[in-house]
Structure 1
Amino acid sequence: MQFAFSANAFHEYSPVETIETLAAIGYDGVELLFGGSHLHPSDTDEDDIAAVTNALDDTGLDISNCNAFMMSAEDFQHPSYIEADPQYRERRVDYTRQALELAAAFDADSISIQPGGPIPDGKSYAWGVETFTESLQTVVPTAEQVGVDILIEPEPDLLIETADQYLDIAHRIDSTAVGCNFDAGHLFCVGEDPVRAVEKLSGSTPHYHLEDIPADRTHEHTQLGDGAMNIDGFLEAVEDTGYDGFVTVELYPYQETAAETARDAYAYLDEHGWI
Structure 2
Amino acid sequence: MIALEGNPNKAKKKGLCMKFAFSSNAFLRFNLLESIKIIADTGYQGIEIMADVPHAYPDQLTEQNIREIRTTLQDNGLEISNVNAFMHHADGDTYHPSWIENEPKLREKRVNYTLRCIELAAKLGARNISTEPGGPLEDMTREKALDLFRRGLSAVEKKAADNGIRILIEPEPGLLIETSSQFLEFLADLNPEVFGLNFDVGHFYCVGEDPSFLIKSMAHVAHHFHLEDIAPSRVHHHLMLGEGAIDIHNVLKSLDDIDYNGFVTVELYTYEHAADAAAREAFRYLQEWRQHNQIH
Whether 1:21 aligns to 2:55 is no
**Matched residues in 2 for 1:204 and 1:161: separation?**
16
Q: Which letter does structure 2 place at the counterpart of 1:140?
A: E
- Contact 1:116-1:128 within 8 A present in 2 as well: yes
- Contact 1:140-1:175 within 8 A present in 2 as well: no
Match of 1:140 among 150, 153, 157: 157
Whether 1:189 aligns to 2:196 is no
Question: For residues 1-275 of structure 1, what are the structure 2 equivalents within 5 Å?
Answer: 1-73=18-90, 75-121=93-139, 123-273=140-290
- Contact 1:36-1:70 within 8 A present in 2 as well: no
**Matched residues in 2 for 1:125 and 1:232: separation?**
36
Instruction: Give the TM-score normalised by structure 1.
Output: 0.97
Aligned residues, how many? Answer: 274
- Contact 1:56-1:62 within 8 A present in 2 as well: yes
**Matched residues in 2 for 1:259 and 1:153: separation?**
25
SS of the residue corresponding to residue 260 of structure 2 reads coil
SS of the residue corresponding to residue 145 of structure 1 reads helix
Q: CA deviation at 1:144?
A: 0.4
**Matched residues in 1 for 2:149 and 2:219: separation?**
23
Aligned-residue identity in percent: 44
After superposing on structure 2, the runs of 4+ consecutive aligned residues of structure 1 that deviate more than 4 Å are none
Instruction: Give the TM-score normalised by structure 2.
Output: 0.91
**Matched residues in 2 for 1:224 and 1:206: separation?**
21
SS of the residue corresponding to residue 102 of structure 1 reads helix
Q: Which letter does structure 2 place at the counterpart of 1:97?
A: L
1 or 2 for the larger relative contact order (CA 8 Å, sep ≥6)? 2
Contiguous gaps of at least 5 residues in structure 1: none
Q: CA deviation at 1:36?
A: 2.1
- Contact 1:181-1:209 within 8 A present in 2 as well: yes
**Matched residues in 2 for 1:153 and 1:79: separation?**
16
Say if 1:193 and 1:175 are closer, same or farther in 2 by CA, change over 3 A. Answer: closer
SS of the residue corresponding to residue 172 of structure 1 reads coil
Q: CA deviation at 1:203?
A: 0.4
**Matched residues in 2 for 1:18 and 1:169: separation?**
35
1:132-182 deviation digits (Å, cap 9, x = unpaired): 111111111110011111000000000010111111111111341101000
